[in-house]
Structure 1
């Protein structure tokens, strides 16, 4: 998903690539396994039965990546909204996060406040 989002504007910036590689590493995926993925568009495949915290992690990472190159494109916003809907959020969560997520590292308390904020957008099953 992150690679798809980074590729929407036609190029993957160095900052976007670094961010994706960092996320991969944090999830146990080595750089040499991530690099080939930049060559293709990928379907949106989400694991089933994600916890609310994992859903937040997905949408937070997408919005932070979208902001990292300091340019926002309509197609990026649409993509994030589609993923948010697939995660069970009201699509408006993307707009709230866009105004508050920073493109740089955020403090844990800031992220937790955003996690709480997004709960109101999570649809109950």
Structure 2
């Protein structure tokens, strides 16, 4: 997984409502730090995210991580805007999932990264929404 691409996607999502909430910034920092980025590297990405990646060729585990991270970020500030849902659904499509996967995963994804549902369970939910090729 390219953590810079993934964090850039999160930054783009956080800016959909024209405001990066402190809780969104905190989650982006948390994910970046978990993946070995320094505070300065993360701040640079928040200020200057890479353009949206194509997301082609992302493996199954990374696709699920993208989905879970965008759903979590969408919910972290306690306000979910239609524009954020639409953004997440577009990302889901780019990752090879039907847009309904966002609503399904939202039911079992929490804003607090310390609270989590079994990844195996979430993977099973998401697989129902894979676009068949």
For residues 1-125 of structure 1, the aligned pairs below 5 Å read 1-40=9-48, 42-104=50-112, 105-107=114-116, 110-125=118-133
Alpha-carbon distance, 1:46 to partner: 4.3
Unaligned runs of 5+ in 2: 1-8
Task: Name the SS of the counterpart of 2:88 in structure 1.
Answer: helix
Q: Distance in 1 between matches of 2:14 and 2:34?
A: 18
Q: Alpha-carbon deviations, 1:8-67, whole Å to 9, x = none?
A: 122212211111011112222221011122234653204542221110000100000100
Tell me, yes or no, if the aligned pair for 1:4 and 1:42 is still in contact at 8 Å. no
Distance 1:41 1:30, change over 3 A: closer
Q: TM-score, normalised by structure 1?
A: 0.88
> Which 4+ residue blocks in structure 1 deviate beyond 4 angstroms?
none
Unaligned runs of 5+ in 1: none
CA RMSD of aligned residues (A): 1.7
Alpha-carbon distance, 1:5 to partner: 0.9
